[in-house]
Amino acid sequence: MSGLAIRADLLDFGADPGWSAADDAPGVRFRADHWLLIDARGRIVGAQREAPDASWTRHDHQGALLTPGFIDTHVHLPQLEVIASYGTELLDWLNTYTFPAERRWVDPAVCAAGAATFLDALLAHGTTSAVVFPTVHAASADALFAAAQQRGMRVIAGQCLMDRHAPADLTVAVDQSERDSEALIARWHGRERLAYAVTVRFAPTSTDAQLAMAGRLLGRHDGLYMQTHVAENRAELDWVAQLFPSARSYLDVYARHGLIGARSVLAHGIWLDAADRRVLADARAQVAHSPSSNLFLGSGLMPWRAHEDAGVPVSLASDVGGGTSLSMQRTMADAYKVQAMQHVKLPAWKALYTATRGAARALGLEHEIGSFDAGCLADLALWRWAEGPVATVRDAAARGLHERVFAWMTLADQRNLEATWVAGRARHRAKETTT
């Protein structure tokens, strides 16, 4: 057999479409009723209109939509159980819900079961790659990497670093966390599709000594990522200013410790100023926009256009459990609302690009994920255009391609998903899918 061939409406991006909502916006690649060809290694060969010959294993999903698997650039492994928890803002959220949930991950059995459930949940939402926060327990990162390797997924993660302002059983001394991190890096970084991220919870829960250690790790090992939170909440900003009085800004706390670079993923970035944007743009560090979480916790409205106009890459993130769904369509729909509140209209093209090729580009993984380019791994999600009577009526009334895709983006979620492939292997199928 030559490989796998999937027939569907193919939608991906060859380049950033900008802020155009035109059907023919630059970079948009929509190929109705085409076959995507995938070789035996799980890599994309190309696309064609005509049916391939019988040497290919053919899956005919005519009338369905095929996209690259989504890339979630900020999500928390242990927080599925705290989704939809009532009544707090960020700092109270951590103490009331997050830290109690994370305590249970001291148990390796909880870590193993939780990692499997978490990754299967991502796949069931069409997400095939993710930048993930485990807990302070080295076993949580171990379990996540092992489960990701088993599924062949692209996962970037690392032991969460906290050594103050958290419950005693959720803090780890600097020397111990450095030993743990070194062991995890040696075991997992660069192994198959896994990469290690130096994972600073956020500035208030790390001393200068721990931040300096995080910088040493980044300098000591090639190809590491760094992930953290920044400028999410006004009360958080005030706290950071009290804890680090010599820093010019919240972002500067990280910059002065060597934590800002091209592989830095900073969640939220709502309350950054022009000087912060220059630092991020010069480093090519990205902001992981988490609109669902920002709305749910009342944190604020992230100024996407201001960041992008300053040269700061923006990716999209569910931020579960502050976010209320692992669905990247729900995340994109919330991003549209956040921008609309600032008198900016987010096109479907920009949102979908950002959740696929744009995120891959920001992570330095454009050669591997995020598009149907020849040579990329076949991380794919197959969707029904409409699910239920309301979406079916709306889909039928669409007057053009962007209108149809925008309605799908706004109304769809995991219920529309028919199948998910990772490197050409089926990893999730909806119950009603028969092929």
Span 163-183, pLDDT tens digits: 999 999 999 999 999 999 999
Helix, strand, coil percent values for the chain (each to nearest 5)? 40, 25, 35
Q: How many CA atoms lie within 13 A of 402 on its CB side?
A: 16
404-414: average pLDDT: 98
Q: In percent, how much of the chain has pLDDT > 70?
A: 99
Are residues 217 and 196 in contact, defined by beta-carbon separation less than 8 angstroms?
no
354-363: average pLDDT: 98
Q: What is the DSSP string of 372-425?
A: --TTSB--EEEE-S--SHHHHHHHHH--SHHHHHHHHHHH--GGGEEEEEETTE
| pLDDT (0 to 100) of residue 91 | 83
CATH number at residue 398: 2.30.40.10
- Domain assignment present for residue 354? The answer is no
| pLDDT (0 to 100) of residue 90 | 80
CATH number at residue 180: 3.20.20.140
- Domain assignment present for residue 364? The answer is no
Q: Which domain holds residue 34?
A: 3-69+370-429
- Domain assignment present for residue 340? The answer is no
- Domain assignment present for residue 335? The answer is no
Q: In percent, how much of the chain has pLDDT > 90?
A: 96
Same domain, 28 and 105: no
Same domain, 151 and 174: yes
Same domain, 87 and 50: no
List the beta bridge partners of residue 197.
225
Q: Retrieve residue 434's tokens.
A: 């028969």
- Domain assignment present for residue 376? The answer is yes
Does residue 369 carry a pLDDT above 90? yes
Q: Return the closest-CA partner of residue 423 out of 134, 177, 213, 128.
A: 128
Token pair 């330095």: residue: 364
Query: Phi and psi at residue 231, in whole multiples of 5°?
Result: 50, 50
Length of the chain in residues, anyone?
A: 435
Does residue 433 carry a pLDDT above 50? no
What would the pLDDT profile of 327-346 be if each residue is shown by its tens digit?
999 999 999 999 999 999 99
| pLDDT (0 to 100) of residue 31 | 98
3-state class of 253 per DSSP?
A: helix
Same domain, 84 and 41: no
What would the pLDDT profile of 98-131 be if each residue is shown by its tens digit?
999 999 999 999 999 999 999 999 999 999 999 9
* Average pLDDT of the chain, as a whole number: 96
- Domain assignment present for residue 204? The answer is yes
- Domain assignment present for residue 91? The answer is yes
Give CA separation, 328 vs 72, 233, 432, in Å. Answer: 8, 23, 22
* CB atoms near residue 242 (< 10 Å): 9
Token pair 């001291």: residue: 106
| pLDDT (0 to 100) of residue 435 | 32
| pLDDT (0 to 100) of residue 431 | 78
Same domain, 318 and 177: yes
What would the pLDDT profile of 289-330 be if each residue is shown by its tens digit?
999 999 999 999 999 999 999 999 999 999 999 999 999 999
| pLDDT (0 to 100) of residue 434 | 34
Same domain, 121 and 255: yes
Structural domain total, the chain? 2
Of 326, 341, 360, the one marking the end of a domain is: 326
Does residue 1 carry a pLDDT above 70? no
Does residue 214 carry a pLDDT above 60? yes
Are residues 368 and 110 in contact, defined by beta-carbon separation less than 8 angstroms?
no
Same domain, 78 and 62: no
Q: What is the DSSP string of 317-380?
A: ---TTTSS-S-HHHHHHHHHHHHHTTT----HHHHHHHTTHHHHHHTT-TTTSSS--TTSB--E
What would the pLDDT profile of 200-213 be if each residue is shown by its tens digit?
999 999 999 999 99
Q: What is the DSSP letter of 2?
A: -
Task: Enumerate residues 6+ apart whose C-beta is below 8 A from 43.
Answer: 374, 375, 376, 377, 378, 423, 424
Same domain, 25 and 95: no
- Domain assignment present for residue 239? The answer is yes
Same domain, 288 and 212: yes
| pLDDT (0 to 100) of residue 2 | 81
Q: Return the closest-CA partner of residue 177 out of 146, 208, 217.
A: 217
What would the pLDDT profile of 142-158 be if each residue is shown by its tens digit?
999 999 999 999 999 99
Of 305, 326, 347, the one marking the end of a domain is: 326
> 3-class secondary structure for 154-201?
EEEECCEECCCCCCHHHCCCHHHHHHHHHHHHHHHCCCCCEEEEEEEC
Same domain, 157 and 188: yes
Of 326, 351, 385, the one marking the end of a domain is: 326
